[in-house]
């Protein structure tokens, strides 16, 4: 594995956003030091590395912090372009489409999903659920188009959108209705 001491990930294991970064590091075959954060008692390292949002994940590369999971995944792909598979296409249009859907996942799917269980009223929750299903439908259409009949949003190999969406599987399990 490449990377070694140069990469330190400030994370918290239940976070799907942290999982995104772990998936990207793993697909690229990069080793890293995992720094588990207590988000109810944030460390000085987290606060000084991400003073704007004060959230995990933060990746430290040679001591320099990079924040926001989707930004970090793209950084990993660029900074370690010669290592492992590419998570973004070499084609600018395909890259733009992947970034569009990665943003859609956070702005529409994650936001409505959170509303479906954190909404203040039953109406707010059910509106969240409705919007979440609409987002899933749009993503299914996008998968059909982007995958070109192969298994992934990235075509025949895993890419930014697969990593962004795949990281949410733990949440899916956790929020599934009991049978």
- Binding residues vs ligand GSH (CB under 6 A): 12, 15, 17, 39, 54-57, 68-70
- State the sign of the Cα–Cα–Cα–Cα dihedral 154, 131, 12, 172: negative
Least distance in angstroms from the C-beta of 71 to ligand GSH: 8
User: Tokens 């795949």, residue?
Assistant: 166
Q: How far is the CB of 11 from ligand GSH (least distance, A)?
A: 9
Tell me the closest approach of the beta carbon of residue 37 to ligand GSH, in angstroms: 8
Least Cα distance to 146 among 100, 81, 106 occurs for 100
Chain center to CA of 50: 17
Nearer to ligand GSH, 69 or 112 (CB): 69
Backbone torsions φ then ψ of 155, nearest 5 degrees: 85, -125
Per-residue buried b or exposed e for 12-30, using 16+ beta carbons within 10 Å of the residue's own CB: beebbbbbbbbbbbebbeb
Cβ closest to ligand GSH, residue 147 vs residue 170? 170
- Nearest distance in Å: CB 15, ligand GSH: 3
Nearer to ligand GSH, 5 or 52 (CB): 52
Pick 26 or 147: Cβ nearer ligand GSH:
26
């Amino acid at each position: 594995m490449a990377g070694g001491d140069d990469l330190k990930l400030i994370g918290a294991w239940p976070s799907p956003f942290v999982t995104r970064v772990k998936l990207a590091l793993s697909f690229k075959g990069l080793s890293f030091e995992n720094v588990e954060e207590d988000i109810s008692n944030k460390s000085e390292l987290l606060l000084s590395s991400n003073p704007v949002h004060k959230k995990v994940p933060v990746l430290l590369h040679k001591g320099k912090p990079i924040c926001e999971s989707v930004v970090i995944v793209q950084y990993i792909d660029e900074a370690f372009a010669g290592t492992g598979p590419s998570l973004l296409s070499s084609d600018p249009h395909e890259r733009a489409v992947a970034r569009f859907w990665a943003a859609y996942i956070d702005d529409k799917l994650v936001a409505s999903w959170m509303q479906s269980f954190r909404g203040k009223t039953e109406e707010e929750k059910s509106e969240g659920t409705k919007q979440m299903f609409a987002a899933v439908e749009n993503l299914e259409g996008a998968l059909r188009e982007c995958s070109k009949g192969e298994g992934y949003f990235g075509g025949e190999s895993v890419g930014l959108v697969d990593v962004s969406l795949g990281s949410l599987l733990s949440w899916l399990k956790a929020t599934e209705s009991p049978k």
